[in-house]
Chain A
Amino acid sequence: MRFTKDHEWVTLDGDIATIGISAHAAEQLGDVVFVETPELGKAVKAGDAFAVVESVKAASDVYAPISGEVVDANTVLGDAPETVNADPENGGWFAKVKVANASEYDALMDRPAYEAFLATQ
């Protein structure tokens, strides 16, 4: 699992990347009340806003950590947005993307690097 400075996580299985927000982000957001996942087939570029997460505190854009085409979205979040709080780095995934360039994955932070980054915040 890799992380961005904007608190998204991504895992890579073959050329399919699964994307969500980190446990730290979910905790900071507080209770999530709404998630807007991207449309299937949408082409995203790393750094683009591609989903929205809303807690009672604030609405935030979620940025694509990696470029590619959206091939799946987590429909569970529509009825149960609280899954993002309960299981942020697994069941609370947002979308799956068919990756164009796997080297983008390698450029992201691994968990120790992300935790070191959080310590500086």
Chain B
Amino acid sequence: MTMNTVGRPTRPEGSAANTGFTSLTGARGLLQDEPLIFELGGWDKTGVDLDEAEHDASDLAGLTRAGVPLPGLSEPETMRHFVRLSQKNHAIDLALYPLGSCTMKHNPRLNEKAARMAGFADLHPLAPVSTTQGALELMDRLAHWLKTLTGMPAVAMTPKAGAHGELCGLLCIKAAHEAAGQGLRRTVLVPTSAHGTNPATAAFVGYNVTEIAQTPDGRVDLADLEAKLGPHVAAIMVTNPNTCGLFERDILEISRLTHAAGAYFYCDGANFNAIVGRVRPGDLGVDAMHINLHKTFSTPHGGGGPGAGPVVLSAALAPFAPAPWVVNGPEGLHLVEEATAEATQAFGRMSAFHGQMGMFVRAYAYMRSHGSDGLRQVAEDAVLNANYIKARLSGAMSPAFPDGPCMHEALFDDAWLEGTGITTLDFAKAMIDEGFHPMTMYFPLVVHGAMLIEPTETESKRELDRFCDALLALAQTARAGDADRFKGAPYLAPLRRLDETLAARKPKLAWRSEPATVAPTPLAAE
């Protein structure tokens, strides 16, 4: 079996003393202890005044149900329920959200204003193109800027998120190999530090996955890559900067070797924020790369809204891009659908319609408000902030790759915790008590007890210092032997340490009514 020796403990250990004080109601100050909406009940009530249904039961061929058990809450009760739940959630609008590999940057409100304009927000995807010229023009302009920033000739706009973009890229690669009579290429090479979605995507497309080793300084091992390339390899998937927060300095050689073997170079663009405006992936020989609009161009997950993962494509892959796409012709903008002659080689579709319109508007607003100089500064400041954190914490914590600067995220291992009895997980939980969302833990897998911190460019020096001060104080406490502070953490969160093992072995995936508490009788309007 393959072994993962760097995972995290998954059960609460021991039980350090509680803080002692509990309220009579279970509330924590003005933070309410909120049950599930189904537990709020109100089964005999309804919160809205509905007219008696006028349907003829005979129309339903006897398929009528006698009562649907839904909780009956008034509007204020419903509102409070969801607001109370939201208070238990962490958000980028509350504080720093230092998840590595996630680019949790501030989402400018200008984006939201633009995305809510009725001309964008209220469009129906089947509206005649003569009535949607403005929306199509925005998509066309966004596509132009994505191609310009990446130095690539084509972009498929429809994928709905990063992993969906990976799937789109690999399907283009598969179609290109098959069109060239190279369909027997069955293997995709993935470095050991890759995002888990990379091998998952390759496997989903039907490829075998082979891992490429990593050098001691955290980069792709060129000798291992060369040994594993061959006529059976369809593609390589490399993240640059990689998940260790390091630029793949041999990227041009990786690209050359890959192409020499007849394979395509897929780049995972999750970390594009570190190089946007500074490096064009097209110049590196990349054949396909997804761009997480919801990371690089703001609106991170947790900041609201869905994702969008357009894929830029090289000239070799462009003919296989999925329909539909926008073309700006002499008679205005129109959509190329796969039924037309222009899309005969398209491998199919990634989604029913054009893509994630709201995200297109947000990303375009972000680009235009920053301008080309602003976007370049985004990458510079993101890298500067990460290096500031790395420099401030390196004395107390152990950087996984101490030599040289990092890119947009600072990676530490757990060597500095050795002998304290405290794990990365304990340390992360103690951060919650200090008012900070933990960093990404135990990823990348190639680093023992990894702690991956990505501050992004939107944090001020004051906030970075507040974060570093808290971590330095915690680190000092850890080494002073105060293990209880960590083993019992979090003490101050709405819930204490959870038992992940129990949750995995006996998951409760849906609420089930207790017969005594629910009477599923037909609801009548009062």
Q: Which residues from chain A sit less than 8 Å from chain B, CB to CB?
A: 6-8, 21, 25, 28-31, 33-34, 53, 55-58, 60-63, 81-82
Contact = CB atoms under 8 A, between A and B. Distances in A.
B231 to A, nearest CB: 23
B4 A29 contact: yes
Given A31-B504, A53-B1, A56-B500, 19 more contacts: A6-B2, A7-B1, A7-B3, A25-B1, A29-B3, A29-B7, A30-B9, A31-B11, A31-B501, A31-B505, A33-B501, A34-B504, A57-B4, A57-B7, A57-B442, A58-B4, A60-B1, A60-B4, A62-B1
Given A30-B10, A55-B10, A57-B10, A81 B505 contact: yes
10 contacts: A6-B1, A28-B5, A29-B7, A30-B501, A33-B504, A57-B8, A57-B10, A61-B1, A63-B1, A82-B505
A63 B1 CA distance: 5
Contacts of B5: 28
Interface in B372-405: none
A30 B11 CA distance: 10
B384 to A, nearest CB: 34
A33 B9 CA distance: 13
Nearest to A8: B1
Interface residues of B, number: 15
Contacts of A31: 10-11, 501, 504-505
A60 B442 CA distance: 16
Question: For the complex, would chain A's binding face be called helix, strand, loop or mixed by DSSP majority?
Answer: mixed
A33 B10 CA distance: 11
A63 B2 CA distance: 8
B498 to A, nearest CB: 11
Contacts, number: 53
Contacts of A25: 1, 3
A14 B2 CA distance: 29
Given A7-B1, A53-B1, A82-B505, A58 B11 contact: no
Q: Which of B1, B4, B505 has most A Cβ within 10 Å?
A: B1
A63 B3 CA distance: 12
Nearest to B500: A56
Contact of B3 (A28, A33, A81): A28
Interface in B1-59: 1-5, 7-11
Contacts of A61: 1-2
Interface string B403-428: 00000000000000000000000000
Nearest to B5: A28
3 A-B pairs closest in CB distance:
A57-B7, A56-B10, A33-B504
B505 A21 contact: no
